[in-house]
Structure 1
Amino acid sequence: MSTVVLVGATSGIGRRAAEQLSAAGHRLVLVGRDPERAAALAKQLPDATVVAADVSVRSGVERLAGELAAAGRIDVLINNAGVMTPTYQETPEGVELNLAVHHLAPWRLVAALGELIPAGGRIVNVNSEGHRSPMRGGTVRIDPDRLMDGPGEFDPFLTYSRSKLANLLFTYELQRRRPDWHVVAVHPGVVRTDLGRQFPRLQVAAISAFALPARKGAEPVVRLAVGAEPPTGYYDRFSKVRSSRISYDEQLARRVWAATEELAAVRILDKGK
């Protein structure tokens, strides 16, 4: 059985994925920001290690890395933490929240935990079809010289989509730099979670009416994490598909990589370096 670190495990897709992975007998380290939810999850899944850590900030990633220092190896890292806010929000480090959670956190987690991931290990980044176009329509572009939207540029849907495009560019570039790992991004479907709980009720209800239950959203994440075939690339649920054209721009990916390295203040080493 695999040792799986699942970040964003205390609600929604993450919690259902934790339940499915636990039922299959995998060794789990489950990470959530809210201590009360983390404690509840620990009671539900007593065989798992549950860590309360806010990965949107460097100190939270360092806390998790400290907890895992003696783990020996991590076979699978699932980056599932997600946010969506109607108004501009920053972390205590001054980073816009979408970028911090969807892009900077997976980067820092790979940098902090990479030495524990052996050749053949898997990294699963939960992404979104929103990387192609925001909910209100339009094109998603990203400026590597200005990764972070400020209060004046913030749009709840476009900012979310930009952060997911940044994460997808990171996914592909990480695979190029670390071919010894299997790095994959997945859109789990439109899923009923509390991700949009801060939005008006009618807006959330309209989306929830045709959304999948969280257990269904968890299924492709679990499949990619521990399924028999090691995955790479981008999946729309269970199907490997092509992502947006811009996501394959290798020059852009390298520039986003360099900008992220500076913003995160931590490096991810290429294989053999």
Structure 2
Amino acid sequence: MAAILPDSDSEDELPPAWEERTTSDGSVYYVNHSTHGTQWTHPRTGKKKMVSGELPFGWEKSISEDGKIFYVDHINRRTTYTDPRLAFATEEKEHPHDFRQRFDGSTTALQILHGRDLTGKVAIVTGANTGIGYETARSLAFHGCTVIFACRDVDKAQDAIEKIKVDRPHAKCSVLELNLNSLLSVKTFATTFKIQHRKLDMLVLNAGIFGLPFTLTPDGYETTFQVNHLSHFYLTLLLEPTLSAGSRVVVVSSESHRFSNITGSSISQSTLSPNSANQYWSMMAYNNSKLCNILFATELARRWESKEICVNSLHPGNMVSTDLSRYWWFYRLLFAFVRPFTKSLQQAAATSVYCATAIDLENVSGLYFNNCCRCEPSAPSQDPDLSRVLWELSEQMIENVMGKGAFTIIQEQEEK
């Protein structure tokens, strides 16, 4: 049995004379050059580790004539006996939700992805032309992922892609128009995506609005509610056929969900989507929509558990400097004032990228994250009855506009 040594500044730091190596099946073992002994458990933590996934771009695994595994870095023209994936080795878990925090609020999205190769993966990021969505999409594209910019303004989205291609000329990015004000636009987007792509690995529901004066969408629903929740709900269900075991749905919520006034006794179509300015306050509309995000993610995780599709929600950061505050001068002034004290856009995108890609989160679903770490959401957001009622109301509101075949039209078209 491994001796558990005293803690250091980093539990993962190996003591002097120790080295990590991997077997052909990805198991990590430890070599003590002083004693010439080996063991399967980390000499400090006593835990076993595994490496998984593809080698980083440009790397190749080879076997020497004497049977030893070594790795070739074709880009830098060097060889090593150290598996480059060791930096991302994960501990074997007794429980799927048993994982330690490796990142924090200062971590950037690109740091989350350091050494990762996402070639062959396909992601949709809503609201990807600006702010946190742009940094999320850019970070994924930088690491080889095919990224679909789901945006209302196609020209702005194309401009955002051109900025990415200045640094990564071969980045695989494209635009599909998605206007979350319109359920018909959502259906058209999902249908088009399904025709163009066979699979979806990551669905990042990032787009959102805040501080909007009272308005109704062409579908007759309050705009903040429809854009932040209802259209994303509809989009996810329409895209279900393209998702499979291992795919991830990432729902960007906010700590503002803690200040929602929705309860089990008050929830109704009129409280979710008020039909007059007399019943409306922009801040509360936003808080309520963010609670809906978590309720939706939690219920979706429960319903899709057997499909092994992972669904998690998150808070990106407090008052991050984005276009979110564009609808009222007071909010613009307030966001500008606190800008030096809040996260950068790259830091704000980190938790979205972590939930979408982290190996630690394989088979982890139904949780809420902040600063790349699991945290406890509000009590109402964990109410299964409230999430069920929201789901049923959301379905009913969509069918009121799109008809009884709202959720099956894609399958019907495919059968034809």
TM, length-normalised to structure 1: 0.91
Match of 1:177 among 284, 297, 303: 303
4+ residue segments displaced more than 4 Å: none
Conserved 8 A contact 1:197-1:204 = no
- Residue 388 of structure 2 aligns to a residue whose secondary structure is helix
Please state how far the C-alpha of 1:267 moved relative to its aligned partner.
Answer: 4.4
Please state how far the C-alpha of 1:163 moved relative to its aligned partner.
Answer: 0.7
Conserved 8 A contact 1:38-1:52 = no
**Cα 1:124–1:250 shift into 2, 3 Å:** same
CA distance in 2, matches of 1:207, 1:141: 29
Q: How does 1:214-229 map to 2 (within 5 A)?
A: 214-229=345-360
Letter aligned with residue 144 of structure 1: I
- Which sits farther off after the overlay, 32-41 or 95-104? 32-41
Deviations 1:104-161 (A, max 9, x none): 122111111110000221000000000002xxxxx53243323212321211111100
CA distance in 2, matches of 1:41, 1:206: 26
- Equivalent residue, structure 2, for 1:243: 377
Determine if the alignment matches structure 1 residue 64 to structure 2 residue 189.
Answer: yes
Q: How does 1:1-273 map to 2 (within 5 A)?
A: 1=118, 2-44=121-163, 45=165, 47-70=172-195, 71-133=197-259, 140-142=261-263, 143-146=266-269, 147-150=272-275, 151-179=277-305, 180-190=308-318, 191-200=320-329, 201-230=332-361, 231-232=364-365, 233-265=367-399, 266-267=406-407
Aligned residues: 263
Conserved 8 A contact 1:149-1:159 = no
Please state how far the C-alpha of 1:207 moved relative to its aligned partner.
Answer: 3.7
Deviations 1:174-193 (A, max 9, x none): 11111021000010112110
Letter aligned with residue 56 of structure 1: N
CA distance in 2, matches of 1:215, 1:60: 29
Conserved 8 A contact 1:127-1:164 = yes
Letter aligned with residue 12 of structure 1: G
CA distance in 1, matches of 2:376, 2:396: 29
Structure with greater contact order relative to length (CA < 8 Å, sep ≥ 6): 1
CA distance in 1, matches of 2:206, 2:157: 15
Structure 1, unmatched stretches of 5+, are 134-138, 269-273
- Equivalent residue, structure 2, for 1:271: none
Conserved 8 A contact 1:38-1:51 = no
Letter aligned with residue 106 of structure 1: H
- Residue 235 of structure 1 aligns to a residue whose secondary structure is strand
CA distance in 1, matches of 2:290, 2:225: 8
CA RMSD of aligned residues (A): 1.7
Conserved 8 A contact 2:210-2:325 = yes
Letter aligned with residue 321 of structure 2: R
Conserved 8 A contact 2:130-2:160 = no
Letter aligned with residue 51 of structure 1: L
CA distance in 1, matches of 2:274, 2:341: 30
CA distance in 2, matches of 1:56, 1:228: 34
CA distance in 2, matches of 1:42, 1:211: 26
- Residue 324 of structure 2 aligns to a residue whose secondary structure is coil
Please state how far the C-alpha of 1:85 moved relative to its aligned partner.
Answer: 2.5
Please state how far the C-alpha of 1:101 moved relative to its aligned partner.
Answer: 1.2
- Which sits farther off after the overlay, 117-126 or 26-35? 26-35
Larger radius of gyration: 2
